[in-house]
A and B are shown apart, each in its own frame.
Chain A
């Protein structure tokens, strides 16, 4: 082989190393921010003490704060952020739409309706008026979670059934079906709230704010299993997603069963997002923005975009949650509002800089 080609391969390897480095830097940044997030709060715990507590050797007070309150919250942010971000990245690919995310095909709206149903019809919510920050709490949360999950997945089920019934429904058709179902669920939620009393409406509104603190270790275990299972499927299909970026015909000619990949990926994305949303409430924008941030660094190469998006989603959600906890402490601002609040300017910035990427 000529020297030119050896140099070309070396340049390509260097180019790939840069993508790997981006992933490594994001992971380190996430760990650092996560440690800071565990240490910061109304009780200030120094980072060395946090690390000691993680290994069970901290002071009893900080041990309780770290292992019982702060760590589950940060782990929830990591898992939920990663789940929503990878779902968004994969949906943007299979639906060939940069705006696709769990909310595009009605998962969030379905889950919100499910939560409203659980609270209003099945009595999952009661009022607790201790302080302004915890004005409303949800009792019997499992009814709410189950209802949110069932309705969140329902919209995907309907979209997939429609696509089975009408075989030539392309990515555009799937999105339109999702938008129609979102609107149906929003209408149903509004009607339910219209006939509900004030306390139940408050509980519904509180649920839709999103709350990372509502997930305990058992819930986190379920969320982690869902994240790793879906991540495994997505990574196995990363070459298929790369092929699909070149259009359906090219992907088919490269050996991709496009129809199966689209439907199975959509089902997994929506189920993973539905599980995440049903445990912690509506968290918007992370699924949309995290993949787009990473596209700027690693391009549309799904070999790196999937893991990098997961880390970016985790990082964004920890940042948003920590910001929400600290900005007017001890009041904790709702995570759903913070993600949109931070996400929108970031998204606009990306939009104005254009979607050009270094490949």
Chain B
């Protein structure tokens, strides 16, 4: 289990805090979505958890061990992080993923390290690119490589900053399915920054809404209410029920009132869409 306690951070002491007393926890096998509008401090939160930007106040406990007191290598064995914007090194896919084994490598990569990499390449369906240079791949494929590298670290906590931003819809689902599957198979805690609320609902177990540097709301599917979404994103939404799956439909400019007698259904959505267009 991972506990984030009272994270407070400011890039510059003279400016306002980017994070203020942020606390939440992630259970094993659990996938948490970090939600909030641009500038809410989501990426900074992940960087603080991984001590890339050390927090002024607060602790991160991984299985009750204070991550802030671990050595960098120890930390890398516990926490893996995939940044929003990655620099793609002029290296092959295999070598890039092998870098994920760096926290375990003493002098050179062992056969076991290479086998772990080969296994992840297979799970992430990257077999056909294994010996291609990452810079030659499409944005989405490269993003999968970065994710695979983080998985090769075999961490207890996986931090993903918008892992699906460069992927087509099919790959978005595929990658999140893989993350969820690997998290469950290996007992990993996952925190994902994600802007697509529908993907968040589909693949994440709990949701941390950040607003004005603080946790605005935190909890399970019951926190995914139009009120919370509207307060955090300053945007009206309508949640419809499609065969048991809640679907969030945004209406940025105006509040759409559901007329009496209209039910939350796809047919209803068509009616609503026709009104606002």
Contacts and interface: CB of A to CB of B under 8 A. Distances in A.
Contacts, number: 117
Given A246-B88, A247-B87, A11 B131 contact: yes
A253 B79 contact: yes
Interface stretch (B17-25, B99-107, B180-188, B254-262): B99-107
Interface string A224-264: 00000000000000010011011101101111110000000
A1 B117 CA distance: 12
A51 to B, nearest CB: 35
Interface string B106-145: 0010000011001101100001001111000000000000
B121 A8 contact: yes
A9 interface: yes
A301 B91 contact: yes
B118 A5 contact: yes
Contacts of B94: 8, 12, 15
B28 interface: no
A252 B77 CA distance: 12
Nearest to B74: A255
Given A252-B72, A255-B73, A245 B118 contact: no
Contacts of A249: 47, 52, 81, 83
A252 B122 CA distance: 26
Contact of B50 (A9, A252, A256): A252
Given A11-B131, A249-B47, A243 B119 contact: no
B166 interface: no
A70 interface: no
A299 B122 contact: no
Contact of A245 (B74, B89, B103, B105): B89
A242 B122 contact: no
A237 to B, nearest CB: 11
A221 B51 CA distance: 44
Interface string B160-189: 000000000000000000000000000000
B50 to A, nearest CB: 5
A8 B118 contact: yes
Interface residues of B, number: 48
Interface in A48-90: none
A252 B130 contact: no
Contacts of B74: 255
B81 A253 contact: yes
B131 A246 contact: no
Interface residues of A, number: 33
Contacts of B114: 9, 12
A346 to B, nearest CB: 20
B92 interface: yes
Contacts of B103: 254-255
B256 to A, nearest CB: 40
A205 to B, nearest CB: 40
A357 interface: yes
A1 B81 contact: no
A8 B130 contact: yes
A4 B88 CA distance: 26
B198 interface: no
Contact of B92 (A5, A252, A299): A299
B130 A11 contact: yes
B34 interface: no
B213 interface: no
Contacts of A355: 90
B86 interface: yes
A295 interface: yes
Interface of A: 1-2, 4-5, 8-9, 11-12, 15, 239, 242-243, 245-247, 249-250, 252-257, 295, 299-301, 303, 355-359
